[in-house]
Structure 1
């Protein structure tokens, strides 16, 4: 969950991660599609644009809506690129 600030101590079992300022390819995974299909499409788009993955940070971020249906969840995908 995104927050404006962190408490001095996190609840047990939680971690904190601060995403660096990078350039990202972003797409929305629709509810009706399998996640691997969405990932295949965005990675193909990155390749078709002549871009490269930025593997110095992490492979991808996924942002889920707080009120989404857990059985058919749409979410945002961010992949760091050069």
Structure 2
């Protein structure tokens, strides 16, 4: 069994969905998006799964909504942090 192919953190998908919803995948560089993902994912607890379908059938709707709210907050916070750092670097 290869752990990296069989198991992944469900929050990764939620973070990518949030980035797409905000349109950041069209306006930001790959390096920026990678940093954004790392910062956001470090703010939420890991939720490891094997198959996406498991989450669709077994995750209560209120828990899914809470996870989405957590991701919105984490991505927004990470975005503010990165944008502030970019402004600092430009002013130096």
TM-score (norm 2): 0.29
- Quick check: which one's strand share is greater? 1
